[in-house]
Amino acid sequence: MTPAPDQPFRALTGMRDVLAPESARRRALVARFAATVELAGYREVQPPLVEELGVFLRMGEATDVVTKEMYDFEDRDGTRVALRPELTAGVVRAFVQHHPTTPWKVWYSGTNFRHERPQRGRYRSFEQVGVEVLGVDDPDLDVEVIALAWASFAAIGLRQVRLLVNSLGEHEDRDRYNEAVRDHFLARRSELGEASLATLKRNPLRLLDSKRPEDAGAVAAAPRIEDFLSPAAAAHFERVQDGLRALEVPFEVAPRLVRGLDYYRRTTFEFVADALDAAQNAIGGGGRYDGLAEDLGGSPTDGIGFALGVDRMLLACDAEAVFPAQDEGVDVFVVDLTGGAAARDLTHELRSAGVAADRRFGGGSMKSQMKSADRSGARFALLVGEDELAAGQVTVRDLRGDAPQSGVARDEVVAEIHRRLGT
């Protein structure tokens, strides 16, 4: 046996325990999200947490997520695997593997892992909800997908959210634009810092969202994507904007929005929570990724999706004072002064009838058991003392209202509680 540690174990840096009532709030957020997207015909998909490393390398070997942040390791059988840093690649891998009929409209929720430098709103283990649609090349789908993300913010009461949209053009448009951006920054490389020069080498488009003050001049003067869009890409983007206007989803066109992952083409979008500081105000984003299914070994398939950061959505809820955590507690707490058998049986009966019920273990005085009852958040305490036991009764005490306590026949107590709870 390894000896006990000098200090108690703690969760790893950048990873957190989610305790009640926050855990219930997360579950409620996912439930609202699911309800929103299932109204539009999306069904849940649950890909594994771990995939072959190659699945994620398709996200682009020039991205930080892939080069610096992946939890990758050798499996016991020698396979190179990684904990998922996002869900899109795994979902598309599942699409390629199972050949579902298209359009394949799916939603997901789950934990991702990135070895980032932790700070508020940026963790090494974080949760996302999102959707993906495979097999449709229609700008009206882009509108549907973006409108669903918008509706899921509304579903939890978030209001201070801004939608930024852009088009990266077709594959060739993006390549030509990439070249032009590289040439532009190469010509002005004396202005760039060392980190930016490294980015320029790996992924010139990423420089467009550089926040470094010394880059600002070169970024402002950079070529603009709209000058590189093919007529088809421009028409697609027009139709997306028309659709957003028709659905009254407010947006801003953001010509420098390129997003981190390499596989995006045409429509890209991002949601910014204005109630949060700039460091963590990106609460979600997505776009079209035509080409990813092919990269994963499938036939060419159009795809589009988004991922929203659950941790950050909840931070935004805190900042806007909406969607608060609610500690629900139980409905009923049984106080047993006769040895515990009554509490054992009564809680079981109540739970079987769908009433949330709890009790104290190990006995204790009336006073200490009533304290536990108060702490439990229960509406009613059910008291069983020697007198009640002898009379075949239970005393019902209202812990929130001021109704006088009353005796109820033991056989009728479950029905009586249902009546009082209105269930």
Contacts with ligand AMP by CB under 6 A lie at: 86, 114, 116, 121-123, 126, 128, 260, 282-285, 307, 309, 311-312
Q: For residue 182, what are its two tokens? A: 């590289």
SS percent in the chain: helix, strand, coil, step 5: 40, 20, 40
Closer to ligand AMP at the Cβ: 121 or 347? 121
Question: Which residues pair with residue 131 across a beta bridge?
Answer: 107, 306
Task: Name residue 60's amino acid.
Answer: G
Residue with tokens 């139980």: 330
Pairing of strands 104-113, 43-44: parallel
* Residue of minimal Cβ distance to ligand AMP: 309
The beta-strand segments (E) located in 355-405 are 357-359, 380-384, 393-398
**320-to-79, 120, 158, 368 alpha-carbon distances in Å:** 46, 17, 7, 39
Supply the minimum distance, in Å, between the C-beta of residue 345 and ligand AMP. 46
CA angle at 115 for the pair 113 and 116, rounded to the nearest 5° = 110
d(C-alpha 288, C-alpha 131), whole Å: 12
Supply the minimum distance, in Å, between the C-beta of residue 256 and ligand AMP. 16
Closer to ligand AMP at the Cβ: 153 or 380? 153
Cis? peptide before 250, omega within 30° of 0:
no
Q: For residue 175, what are its two tokens? A: 């390549």
Closer to ligand AMP at the Cβ: 139 or 309? 309
In 3D space, the residue among 410, 113, 163, 139 whose CA is nearest the CA of residue 283 turns out to be 163
Supply the minimum distance, in Å, between the C-beta of residue 246 and ligand AMP. 26
Supply the minimum distance, in Å, between the C-beta of residue 310 and ligand AMP. 8
Closer to ligand AMP at the Cβ: 207 or 273? 273
| CA 9 to centroid of chain Cα atoms | 27
Closer to ligand AMP at the Cβ: 265 or 312? 312
Supply the minimum distance, in Å, between the C-beta of residue 88 and ligand AMP. 8
Closer to ligand AMP at the Cβ: 126 or 228? 126
Supply the minimum distance, in Å, between the C-beta of residue 317 and ligand AMP. 13
Closer to ligand AMP at the Cβ: 93 or 379? 93
d(C-alpha 43, C-alpha 35), whole Å: 10
Supply the minimum distance, in Å, between the C-beta of residue 11 and ligand AMP. 15
Closer to ligand AMP at the Cβ: 112 or 347? 112
Supply the minimum distance, in Å, between the C-beta of residue 102 and ligand AMP. 24
Supply the minimum distance, in Å, between the C-beta of residue 125 and ligand AMP. 8
Q: Other CB atoms closer than 10 Å to residue 241's CB: what's the count?
A: 18
Closer to ligand AMP at the Cβ: 126 or 177? 126
The beta-strand segments (E) located in 274-405 are 282-288, 303-309, 332-336, 357-359, 380-384, 393-398
Supply the minimum distance, in Å, between the C-beta of residue 251 and ligand AMP. 16
DSSP state letter for 318: H
Burial 43-80 (b: 16+ CB within 10 A, else e): eebebeebbebbbbbbbbebbbbbeebbbbeeeeeeee
Locate all alpha helices (DSSP H) within 207-333, ordered by sequence: 216-220, 231-246, 292-295, 310-320
Closer to ligand AMP at the Cβ: 269 or 380? 269
Closer to ligand AMP at the Cβ: 110 or 169? 110
Interaxial angle between packed helices 413-421 and 341-352, expressed in degrees from 0 to 180 and rounded to the nearest 10: 50
Supply the minimum distance, in Å, between the C-beta of residue 69 and ligand AMP. 8
In 3D space, the residue among 131, 124, 123 whose CA is nearest the CA of residue 149 turns out to be 131
